[in-house]
Structure 1
């Protein structure tokens, strides 16, 4: 049974906040503040790339765990949980597909992108492959992926559980975790430190803007670093 994450639990970021994050913050900044809080393994590896480098993706994780299969059972709908997850998406959620590292499937394509976009999803993330890339780029839907290929998941991989903690490209992602992604990569903010991390990110953003202004004014890098401690 699909478990829908609670919407706007006390102290959680609202949809308006997500839009503010999307317009002001960026992946490297969020990664830096997570490092400072002792969360050093929150950035997905560089093999996970945006289908379009202009994409910015900020939202909450809805997770799906794939397993490898090698046949389709008679009378089975191999897409059952996949369909149920996509049809239950809420605005600003991000389906996260944990596909493993076999490179056997491209579970995401034009049709899922269309269905997710219509439901207001903020994008999609997977360590598997993506296909139908021309159509997805045309519709402007953010997809962060582990490769490009034509292989359907049918007979190769199947979702076994949804809305459970997963590892995507080696990074743990729990349902409801905040995901911030852009051309620099994908960063996962655990819910237990979300408020602290975001407060620190906005504060660091102020310092970075001051640092940049001083550098543009010709002040030396050493002097600016001594003043703000930001590099």
Structure 2
């Protein structure tokens, strides 16, 4: 059974950067964990941490994808918005195609009101100026006004997908910040959270010393003397 991300480590992941996480995962042999060409909308949203809940699109087909499909409560896009558990992140595989929207402001508002932790697509969102003003993490490739039906057929919910060329399995831990989105395999999430949190503490120490005029030699990476100085400094870091 995959270990559950602890509440303590969930909070730690809110304090670390996607850059630090990619390095922690690289140490474990994972090179493809940062979703390419996906950026945050706006600057008012908190950092994003949550388990992946996925939606997969395939190319639209004209006889199947028309406005009438939204009346069906089993339509995968609509169903996913109502089924994504609170605290999870909806991750949408739009095949890196932003020529039609993956979703729009109303659906994103619904996710926010339901307590979902955020939403990510490798396509685009319509109503993006409105979404950018929400206190809700949302990441996409670029704005896209046309309805999803023009380019996308909603096919599956909560199955393994590719988002921005990164494999995302349901339950993987998805972390988003100002640089973008990192995906942590679920079974590694707790140990990566703990290591990345400690690395963040050390990098805060390094930043402080560099700004005070110190050379990076012996500091980054640390020699024995620097490690001793950091240990003393670390006792006051929280």
What's the TM-score once normalised by structure 1's chain length? 0.86
4+ residue runs over 6 A deviation: none
Alignment correspondent of 2:197: 202
Contact 2:104-2:125 at 8 Å conserved across structures? yes
Q: Give the Cα–Cα distance (whole angstroms) in 2 for the partners of residues 71 and 125 of structure 1.
A: 26
Structure 2 match to 1:174: 169
Q: Which residue of 2 aligns with 1:26?
A: 17
Structure 1 120/14 Cα, relative in aligned 2: closer, same or farther at 3 Å? farther
Q: How many correspondences in the alignment?
A: 220
Matched with 1:4 is none
1:114 aligns with 2:109: yes
Larger radius of gyration: 2
Please provide the CA RMSD for this pair.
2.4
Q: 1:120-167, CA deviations, whole angstroms, 9 ceiling, x for partnerless residues?
A: 011100011111122212222211001111010124312111111100
Where structure 2 has 5 or more consecutive residues not aligned to the other structure, the ranges are 228-238
Cα offsets for 1:30-59 (capped at 9, x unmatched):
1111111111110111x2111114542111
1:3 maps to none
Q: State whether residues 3 and 186 of structure 2, in contact with CA within 8 Å, keep that contact through their aligned partners in structure 1.
A: no
**What residue is the counterpart of 2:5 in the other structure?**
13
Contact 2:120 2:140 in 1 (8 A): yes
SS across alignment from 1:35: helix
Distance 2:67 2:35 in 1: 37
Aligned equivalents of 2:27, 2:6: Cα separation in 1: 24
Q: Give the unaligned 5+ runs of structure 1.
A: 1-8
Q: Is the Cα–Cα contact under 8 Å of residues 86 and 117 in structure 2 kept in the other structure?
A: yes
Is the deviation greater in 118-127 or in 93-102?
Answer: 93-102
1:83 aligns with 2:78: yes
1:36-185 equivalences in 2 (<5 Å):
36-45=27-36, 47-55=37-45, 56-73=47-64, 77=69, 80-185=75-180
